[in-house]
Amino acid sequence: MANTVLFALTSHGELGDTGRSTGFYVPEVAHPAVVFRREGFDIAYVSVQGGRPPQDGVKPDDTVVAQYLADPANQAALAATPRPEELRAEDYDVIFFAGGHGTMWDFPDNAELTGLAAAIYERGGVVAAVCHGPAALVNLRLSDGSYLVEGREVSSFTDEEEAAVGLAETVPFLLETALVERGAKHTKAPNFTPHAVADGRLVTGQNPASAARVAELAVRQLAAARESR
């Protein structure tokens, strides 16, 4: 039976009060999907509100994204994503929280989504997140009440990167700061350069350039965890 990765996507499409749109950052799904498919994974999707989630980050020179969006199977799946409460943790081996600024508004307090991720983790799966996707980790508690990130090495879009893109005053909180407040050991590289870290079955990356590496580490950590049983 093939392993399955569940891409978790934001349903929030408004970038604060800027008048600009946002959504899930498509490259942070398209590039990891190449890795997961190469490793024989099936791919599934979930979004906070279900249906077609808003998209962001599509650039004309990214051929991987162009091919991903041109695939009829991907389009069909993205047009009808389920809500987290419709899914069962036992059907997934990895949950991958894709970024995009929208996650900052609807990931942290969605108990169904964070509960699904906690259940996947506690049955031996991998929780992965990249860029703003770790917003889902800010309030993610395990069944013993502890935060998943407490005492763990994690990465995310940094406070410096948020300032560099001019949105530090727009987002509802600063992600790096929030993770540190939850007890995480935050690690990072210079702005907008690739950086990903695995702390057991928790795998996180700093920015879009880190997305494929997060997928590679997630595959490796899942295999290592199974070998150690």
- C-alpha 144/C-alpha 129 separation (Å) is 22
- C-alpha 69/C-alpha 8 separation (Å) is 17
Handedness of CA 86, 112, 95, 136 (dihedral sign): positive
Please confirm, yes or no, whether 153 is among the known catalytic residues: no
Of 132, 161, 195, 216, the catalytic one is 132
Of 31, 101, 131, 161, the catalytic one is 131
**Coarse DSSP helix, strand, coil percentages of the chain, rounded to the nearest 5 percent:** 40, 20, 45
Of 28, 161, 162, 176, the catalytic one is 162
Quote the tokens at residue 122.
């506690």
Please confirm, yes or no, whether 195 is among the known catalytic residues: no
Give residue 52's identity as a one-letter amino acid code: R
Quote the tokens at residue 16.
């604060």
Give CA torsion, residues 153, 225, 24, 61, to 10 deg.
Answer: 100
- C-alpha 207/C-alpha 194 separation (Å) is 7
Looking at 98-220, which runs of residues are DSSP E strands?
A: 126-130, 153-154, 185-186, 196-199, 202-205
Q: How far is CA 121 from CA 15, 26, 118, 127, 209, in A?
A: 30, 24, 5, 6, 25
First to last CA, the chain: 18
The residues carrying an active-site annotation are 131-132, 162
